[in-house]
Amino acid sequence: MFWKNKTEAFEEKKDPLQLDDSKVYLLKKVWLKERFNFYAYISTMVDGWVTITDSLESMLSKAWNGYFKEKVKELRLFISSGDSFSKAMKKMPDVFPVAEAAVIQAWEESGNLVQSLNKLSEDLSSRFDLSQKIKSAMTYPIIIFLFLIWAMIIVLMYVMPEVKVMFVEQWIDLPAATVALIATSDFLVNNYLLLIFFIMCCVVAFFWFITTESGKRVVNYFLINTPLIWKVYRNSTLAHISWSIGSLNAGGISIVKTLKLVWESTGSYIYRNLLYDVAKDVSAWKTLVESLWDRDPAKEFFPHDFLQMLSVWEKTATLEAVTKKIKAQYTKEVDYSLASLVKWIEPIAILIAWVFVLWFAFAVFWAILEMTEWAWL
């Protein structure tokens, strides 16, 4: 009993608010859903007269992402040391994007922190819903292609070796289609481990490549030059840009600074370059619509209706209301573009399946026909 009490007395109790540098996180990422839930929770707590530091402490019990918990602890530590909420956020750009910190800062200066947190939560929730729509719409075509690939593998690795025995035993010249089918089947059967390893290496290399500047540029050019995907990509990007411009400007940030923040926060390499040039033009006393018009003369990236709605703001000085309408419009456009994309993907998958089935049927039956003719001879 004495030993037990002594052990308990000297046992170090870990402070849940203390930073834990010993932990290693394989995936250092904070998801969009976590951020909008974070802003909504802090907004509710602060609106109920709970301090920021106490709100962040309470948030630790709600977060399920270990990496995000550590970052919330860091955020609390910075604020406890005298930093404002926005200044603390700016010290963690890998967790809180620059545009979000700027929105908080703008509303902090006007004394409306709760309103800014609510606005961020609602807007990020809308972006999350849009991304979920895109993922949900693409799930069905992806499943179709996976089943198609799986069916081809089963035929080539399990069905074709059994059929091949019948052809190899006959001393006849097999058709080219049959020879190609047998060669493909033999290659898969004899090298499937090597193929699995090669595919895994390609996947790892691909995900590493798209994190680099060159990779982002290649992905952007691919999205832009792919007919059906391009509309989904453009409309979702324009919806995000509209939200960012309206949110930042509503907080009292100048249009030049707003454009620079949107340029820094957008994930599109092409749009980032365009917005950088537009920000320079606007700082040189050009209007926003005029600059967008000049930088995109073909109206490929900023369509006519987008520019027309922005021109309404320049005439009425109601940017936030106009950008909300633009965002709503292009969110609907994403739905239409996704419907068109899914409508075309299913026939393409069926066409690929028919090509493989015809190849298999043609190769097998032509070889059987050759065997029948040889037997009659």
Q: Does 132 lie in the same domain as 91? A: no
Q: Which domain holds residue 295?
A: 126-377
User: Model-level pTM greater than 0.95?
Assistant: no
Assigned domain for 8 exists: no
Mean pLDDT over 329-346 rounds to 81
Highest mean pLDDT among 75-79, 221-225, 338-342: 75-79
Mean pLDDT over 200-208 rounds to 91
Least confidently predicted of 23-37, 200-214, 351-365? 23-37
Q: Does 164 lie in the same domain as 44? A: no
Q: Does 304 lie in the same domain as 371? A: yes
**pLDDT mean across residues, the chain:** 80
Mean pLDDT over 4-21 rounds to 48
Mean pLDDT over 29-49 rounds to 86
pLDDT confidence of 2, banded at 50, 70, 90? Answer: very low
Mean pLDDT over 292-318 rounds to 83
| Number of domains observed in the structure of the chain | 2
Q: Does 149 lie in the same domain as 92? A: no
Mean pLDDT over 74-87 rounds to 88
Assigned domain for 254 exists: yes
Q: Does 295 lie in the same domain as 372? A: yes
Q: Does 191 lie in the same domain as 85? A: no
Q: From 77, 96, 115, give the residue that closes a domain.
A: 96
Q: Does 167 lie in the same domain as 21? A: no
Share above pLDDT 90 across residues of the chain, in percent, rounded to a whole number: 3
Q: Do the beta carbons of residue 253 and residue 263 sit within 8 Å?
A: no
Assigned domain for 1 exists: no
Residue 6 pLDDT exceeds 50: no
Residue 202 pLDDT exceeds 90: yes
Residue 105 CA: distances (Å) to CA of 87, 241, 261, 278, 289:
8, 19, 13, 24, 27
Q: Does 142 lie in the same domain as 72? A: no
Q: Give pLDDT tens digits for 160-198.
A: 888 777 776 666 677 788 888 888 888 888 888 999 999
Assigned domain for 107 exists: no
Residue 100 pLDDT exceeds 90: no
Residue 372 pLDDT exceeds 80: no
Q: Does 91 lie in the same domain as 130? A: no
Residue 19 confidence (pLDDT): 53
Assigned domain for 105 exists: no
Residue 198 confidence (pLDDT): 93
Residue 281 pLDDT exceeds 80: yes
Q: Does 371 lie in the same domain as 222? A: yes
Assigned domain for 273 exists: yes
Q: Does 179 lie in the same domain as 63? A: no
Assigned domain for 358 exists: yes
Question: Residue 4's Cα: distance from chain center in Å?
Answer: 53
Q: Does 255 lie in the same domain as 190? A: yes
Assigned domain for 76 exists: yes
- Domain of 351, CATH number, reads 1.20.81.30
